[in-house]
Amino acid sequence: MLPVNKAMAGRESYFWHKLHSLSGIVPVGFYMVQHLTLNSFALAGPKAYNGVINFFEGMPKHFLIVLKYGVVWLPLLFHAIYGLFIASRMEAYVSPAAKKYRENGYYLWQRWSGIFAFVFLCYHMASTSIANARFGPDTTVYYENWASYLSGTGYVFLIVYVLGILACAYHLAYGIWMFCIRWGITISEESQQRMARFSKAAFFFLTLLGWLALVGFFYSPLAPKDTVASTSPPVETPQSSVPGTTEL
């Protein structure tokens, strides 16, 4: 038998597991929805999208720091690290007979999508917030930088973001279903089935929203015809900088 301390170290804590589930919805899930929504302003053209950037850039620095690191990054970091611990212990198919249940497949994809989303978000933060802090917003986060970034290098980064959004959308959608079960919101089989249908709809909606935001950097159908090309000063992006989306 393992010593008590080692056994407990390898066991998932009820409290931390519940907190992990909650943090995936509030604030991480809520932030993802608003983040994709704000990025979709690209569909309305450079002026609308750059207006979002200017709003965040115009915030008092102390408030922006608390919002970014305290409200967003800290819960996201906890959710990601504890989620990796959970994923390291996953057992999707506990028996050959269990393989016939689609929930096992959903569970497996939830874990793999979480791992991929973690890697993707590390890259996303490096190419947005960190790059912004290093190079400044004029060469990193405005519409022109982002449009150039996605269309360059054979659209490799566009593919990365297409897959990253897909993984994050699935992870959150399935997480909503699991959250409602874990917190006793959906107890009956009927209520769980209804929530499953809602989660599927949420997955398609979030994926579509994120992908449409990417489309906005190539084609902006909602942009006024007489809109000036950009509200930010002309930018020449240095070769060493890495553009990205909204700062948070």
187 C-beta neighbours (distance < 10 Å), count:
10
- Mean pLDDT within 13-41: 95
pLDDT at residue 86, as a whole number: 87
pTM across the whole model: 0.83
Condensed to tens digits (0 to 9), the pLDDT of residues 172-218 reads 999 999 999 999 999 999 999 999 999 999 999 999 999 999 999 99
Condensed to tens digits (0 to 9), the pLDDT of residues 50-96 reads 999 999 989 999 998 899 889 999 999 999 999 999 888 766 555 56
For the CA atoms of 180, 183, 185, 190, the dihedral, rounded to the nearest 10 degrees, stands at 60
User: How is domain 13-215 classified at the CATH fold level?
Assistant: 3 helical TM bundles of succinate and fumarate reductases (1.20.1300)
Condensed to tens digits (0 to 9), the pLDDT of residues 128-179 reads 888 888 888 887 889 999 999 999 888 999 999 999 999 999 999 999 999 9
Taking the domains of the chain in order of start, what are their residue ranges? 13-215
What's the rounded Cα separation, in Å, for the pair 50 and 54? 6
Residue type, 247: E
